[in-house]
Structure formats: C-alpha cells, structure tokens
Amino acid sequence: MAYNFKEIMNKPERLAPGHRMCAGCGGTITVRTVLRALHEGDKAVIGNATGCLEVSTFMYPYTAYEDSYIHNAFENAGATLSGVETAYNVLKKKGKIDDTYKFITFGGDGGTYDIGLQSLSGAMERGHDMVYVCYDNGAYMNTGIQRSSATPMYADTTTTPVGSQSNGKMQNRKDLAQVMAAIPYVGQSTLLGNMRDLYEKAEKAIYTPGAAFLNVMSPCPRGWRYPTEKIMDICKLAVETCYWPLFEVIEGKWILSYSPKKKLPIEDFLRTQGRFKHLFKPENEHLLVQYQQEVDRRWEDLLYRCSKN
C-alpha cells in the first residue's frame, strides 16, 4: 500500500501534548505512532495498564488522550478491554451504537510480560477484536528501574545491581512476541526513521479481525542511561545488530520485515547505554562473547522460522 507520510504525520494528535513523560522517552512516541494508524472517522477506546505511561498521561479527572480512556491496574488491562469490546458488540447488535470503535490497550513490559500476562493470554485466546501494545522499555521503570522478564541479560538494575559479586541480570530476556505467535496478528517493531515500520504494523494490528499484539522496543533514558537525543540511534543499532529484529506473524506465517546488509556486533548497541558499561571492562570480555552468541542464536532461529513459509 502506498502511504503519504507527510499527510500521515500531520494527522491530529490523539495523545495531546502536556503529559509528564520524560524527554527522550520511547513510550509516547510509540503511542502517538500507533494511534495515527486509526482511520479517519474511527473512534477508539484506550486502555492503559499502570506504569510510566499511565501515571504521566492521566491525573484524575484529566487525561492526555483525545479518545475514551480507561486506567487499569497492572494485572488486568487485557481483561478490561476485552470486556469493553464485548459490551460494544452487544450494544451495536442491539442498534444502540452506530459508530465504529477500535480497542487498543497499552502496557509496559512489567504489566505485560509479567504481572498482566495472565489476562493478556486470556484476551488473546478468546479472540477479542482488540490490539494489545507493549511499549517494552526493559524494566519496571515507573517504580524504580527493577528488573522484569523483558530486561536483557547483564543489565544493571536496582534489583540486579552490578558489583563485585554480580554482573547484572543473569537471565536472557523473554521472547514474548514468540509466545504470542498463535494469534491472528503479531508485529515486532521499534522507533525508526519516519516510523513507517511501526505505522504499517499498527494499522495491520488495528484492522486485522480478532486479537492482535504489538511489541515495540521503547527506550527509557533513565533506566538505560543514555542522552535523551540518542533514542533513534539506539533503536537503529538494536535492529542493525539483530538484538531487536523486525518481523510479523500473520495467521502463523512468520515474515521478516528487515535484514541488515551488514549485521553489526552487539557491542555497538550495548555501548550506547550506561546499564551495560561494566561489560566493557577487560575482565568481562567473555560476557560480550556470550551475549553475541545468544543474539546470533535467536537471529538464526528467526531466519529459520521465516524460511519455512
């Protein structure tokens, strides 16, 4: 499909300015891009699990969202929106609602990978016509930068602190997009260039009948410890090193969105962030080798899945 991105980027914002998210935060860029994918005339109900995004865009009775908005607890964003979607279908069947509504809920990785996984799983398995968007910043940033199951290996967090007895988080990050791959649409993206990749996947997710899931790497300057203006560079390096590959799963078919012409070493991505600075000490060279091996393994596994279609 041909897109006029100048026209798309000039669409009215559905997330109003004046919220309190940090400068250099990927979460609000993710939200703005996803909501731009709504077609003109379509309304939306937005859900939001507790987290940075929720506490910074909603202070009762005010919200930064132009659409209907529901603040959920950490654990029930998927359940709440699936209930609202069901009620909408009943009211539309009875002729009490004529407008077209779409149902989109946002959650950080803490409220998605961990605390909210049960209600997310239920909503997706039941096949509700809704989109769950995870803005993945790799930790529980809102409550003090504690590790989550999305936190990458060897990251320095407040619950996996680097010190004489520890090299940070010891486990690899959970691959949630792979876990969700049985539903009609899954897309993995991040913040790149003119946002084309994320925009196109958001549009597919919103307008694919049934359950859809978007996993969007959304860097956090406080937790990742990078200069705020470097966010786009970091996202690009995540893709070019294959730490965060871009792909879709459509009705079980794995599709690679982008393959780097020259795959960069994982050090190029890790070096940009203060949470990994300990890995560049001479005595930790073996940790970088181990990290590269895991990135390579996951990349080869993804290539294999995509080649089987």
Q: How far apart are CA 20 and CA 217, in angstroms?
A: 20
pLDDT of residue 60: 85
pLDDT digits (tens, 9 = 90+) for 263-279: 999 999 999 999 999 99
Which pLDDT tens digit goes with each residue over 69-126?
999 999 999 999 999 999 999 999 999 999 999 999 999 999 999 999 999 999 999 9
Nearest to 220 by CA among 151, 271, 171, 131: 151
Peptide bond into 61 cis (omega under 30): yes
What does the mean pLDDT of the chain come to? Answer: 95
Max Cα distance, the chain (Å): 69
pTM check: above 0.85: yes
